Chains A and B, each alone.
Chain A
């Protein structure tokens, strides 16, 4: 399944499709073909393919156990696939990918006795090409917290620090794996603003989330995944209209409100509780 500008051009949400400002034909930054991941008793990912175009934000959605975390871990290069290939700028994932990618994992502990600035400095030292530390702190609204110990940060502050760590090398591609899980609504919205700012810099983003409003706000394109396979892809509004009719994202439906991504998600993946 391709996720790219060709599909976006046919979508009603073409105007939201963030392409790199100077690129007439955006290049494929990351390409996965026939990805499979088997565990001893589970086929977590069952032959998925995607193309991630430079300067866009792609959302990977799915219920618990759908295989999205496994997929993103393979794309991040932290989990080897059982079968299939992943290429970054046409090359297998390697040193260049590590130098040019930024990752915010779902759960990451940092060294407790380091301050915010010291933590950013640590990761700053691991890359060849970096942003100035003060700029990273400013981008993530951490200037006032730079002297605070990591262990004293709130959930939202810690997520901002993890984002700062992911941005320290001015990445071409940024992976955000459920970055706002557990945050209060204010912190989530503040985080969205940060991601919007990062997108505006032309950074390519791959996001997984359980929050449909988050995907709607941040993603140019989304893929919905279930049982290890991709079951839908397109722009958020395009998919809503494809399944609920033209204008369904704006005019009130049977429930007295416009259809949204959550309606689509439940329609495609069912209402049964996943165990």
Chain B
């Protein structure tokens, strides 16, 4: 070896390793493909979700007449307020829920147009509303934004009948904490269950277990229960001190919240198993598990409410387990909802558990192909 070669030996060794690793990376086409597609997917998803012509300043709930959508109400000029820019209009699922949000300052004003009907005989250009009686609205006098929104309404409609609700504003921390706890539960569940099984398969441990009377369903059930025990213990250990430290309040039943969280964790663990059942590469598994978790991080209402966003976005969100976990948890924690209110979320989560477990068990691979 000459002196120059020896002098650059560390660099040469580094380059040799770099070259070998790059070859390995480029030749693992599924991982390479994933690494290329993932950033594109995330950037486009963010751009699409957050793109929009204007950022609304106020949020107003509109109770539309039966069979009339918000878009139709706007098109028919059902109420002059609907033409106001920079206001986020949305149609709540029911009036009681909207009034509750108003009392917590999550909505600035609620306008009831159910007594009005669009004049179907008028042309689009001259569409007018036929009012049977004055519109009613609800406002929280303690809400600063409610005050401004009410002034906007009065400018457009002096005959509207005022109703008031009271209640303190819910802080963003109170609203977002369930989301953060849910996010932690999601990562721990999806990745914890998924990675371990992929590692077991790669190391040959699964193949050894396959040589015993153990069935795929038994193996997966044991993994699910083990992970569930772990994540729920951690979640409880984190949650309980939070109620003292930041004064996190649970208006509803703690037991119901625990049951809902357990069901949510089960569905997320089962989702991780779906990926783990079919994949043998840890890198590819990491990518696919990210693919499962990113949409939930963005669309399940962890950081902000999707209320008022487009219908298709909300439909996607409804297909995600974390959405049902968070919606249910917030209903229990903030609204004091009981089993009668949250059972639909629990039923959907239970259905997801069943579907994910069946898919996992049906396609479960004991060995690297």
Contact across chains for B207 and A108 when beta carbons are under 8 A apart: yes
- How far is A128 from B212 in the complex, measured between Cα atoms in Å? 11
CA distance A127 to B209 in the complex (A): 11
Cross-chain contact of B367 among A77, A78, A95, A103 (Cβ < 8 A): A78
Quick one: which of A77, A95, A107 contacts B211, CB cutoff 8 A?
A77
Complex: A34 Cα to B302 Cα, angstroms: 59
CB-based nearest A residue for B209? A126
Contacts of A103 on B, CB cut-off 8 Å?
Answer: 208, 211
Does the CB pair B213–A78 fall under 8 Å? no
Residue A186, interface by CB 8 Å = no
B282, chain A: closest CB distance, angstroms? 14
Q: Which of B207, B212, B213, B214 contacts A105 (CB 8 A)?
A: B207
* B210 CB contacts on chain A under 8 angstroms: 78
The distance in angstroms between the C-alpha atoms of A77 and B367, with both chains bound, is 13
Task: Judge whether B205 is part of the interface by a CB distance below 8 angstroms.
Answer: yes
Chain B nearest CB: distance from A188 CB in Å? 22
A266 interface contact, C-beta 8 A: no
- Once the chains are docked, how many angstroms separate the CA of A123 from the CA of B209? 8
How far, in angstroms, from A109 to B211 measured CA to CA in the complex?
Answer: 14
Residue in B204, B205, B207, B367 whose beta carbon sits within 8 Å of that of A111 in the complex: B205
CA gap between A235 and B282 in the complex, in Å: 46
Using an 8 Å CB-CB cutoff, how does the interface string of B333-369 with A read, 1 for contact, 0 for none? 0000000000000000000000000000000001100
Distance between A177 CB and nearest chain B CB, rounded to angstroms = 11
Q: Which of A99, A109, A127 contacts B205 (CB 8 A)?
A: A109
Interface residues of B in 200-244 (CB under 8 A from A): 203-205, 207-214
A124 to B211, CA, bound (A): 13
**Count of chain B residues near A, Cβ 8 A:** 13
Interface residues of A in 81-112 (CB under 8 A from B): 95, 98-99, 101, 103, 105, 107-111
C-alpha gap A272/B165 in the complex (Å): 91
CA gap between A101 and B211 in the complex, in Å: 8
- Alpha-carbon gap, A169 to B211, bound state (A): 12
Q: Cβ of A99: which chain B residues have Cβ within 8 Å of it? A: 213
Whether B205 pairs with A126 at a CB distance below 8 angstroms is: no
* A101 to B213 alpha-carbon distance, docked (Å): 10
**Shortest Cβ distance from residue B71 to the other chain A in the assembled complex, whole angstroms:** 55
CB <8 Å contact, B213 and A108: no
B204 engages A78 (CB within 8 Å): no
A108-B212 Cα distance, complex, nearest whole Å: 14
Q: Cβ of B214 and Cβ of A108 under 8 Å apart?
A: no
Complex: how many Å from CA A99 to CA B215? 12
Beta-carbon contact of A123 and B207 below 8 Å: no
Contact call B207/A127, Cβ cutoff below 8 A = no
A105 with B204: CB separation less than 8 A: yes
Inter-chain contact A108/B204, CB cutoff 8 Å: yes
Query: A95 to B213, Cβ gap below 8 A?
Result: yes
**A128 partner residues in chain B, CB cutoff 8 A:** 213
A76 within 8 A of B: yes
Q: Which residue of A lies closest to B366 (CB)?
A: A78
Complex: A77 Cα to B205 Cα, angstroms: 16
> A98's closest neighbor in chain B, by CB?
B213
Closest approach, in angstroms, between the C-beta of B266 and any C-beta of chain A?
A: 23
Contacts of A105 in B (CB 8 A): 204, 207-208, 211
Q: How far is the CB of A75 from chain B (nearest CB, A)?
A: 12
Contact pattern, B 185-207, Cβ under 8 Å of A = 1, otherwise 0: 00000000000000000011101
Chain B residues positioned under 8 Å from A123 (CB to CB)? 212
What's the least CB distance linking B284 to chain A, in Å?
Answer: 20
Report the separation of the CA atoms of residues A165 and B210 in the bound assembly, to the nearest whole angstrom.
13
A78 touches B207 (CB 8 A): yes
In the assembled complex, the Cα of A108 lies from the Cα of B209 at a distance in Å of 10
How far is A110 from B204 in the complex, measured between Cα atoms in Å?
Answer: 8
Contact B205 A76 (CB under 8 A): no
How far, in angstroms, from A169 to B366 measured CA to CA in the complex?
21
Name B residues whose Cβ lies closer than 8 Å to a Cβ of A. 203-205, 207-214, 366-367
Q: List 30 A-B contacts (CB under 8 A).
A: A77-B211, A78-B366, A78-B367, A98-B211, A98-B212, A98-B213, A99-B213, A101-B211, A103-B208, A103-B211, A105-B204, A105-B207, A105-B211, A107-B204, A108-B203, A108-B204, A108-B207, A108-B208, A109-B204, A109-B205, A110-B205, A110-B208, A123-B212, A126-B209, A126-B213, A126-B214, A127-B212, A127-B213, A165-B208, A169-B212
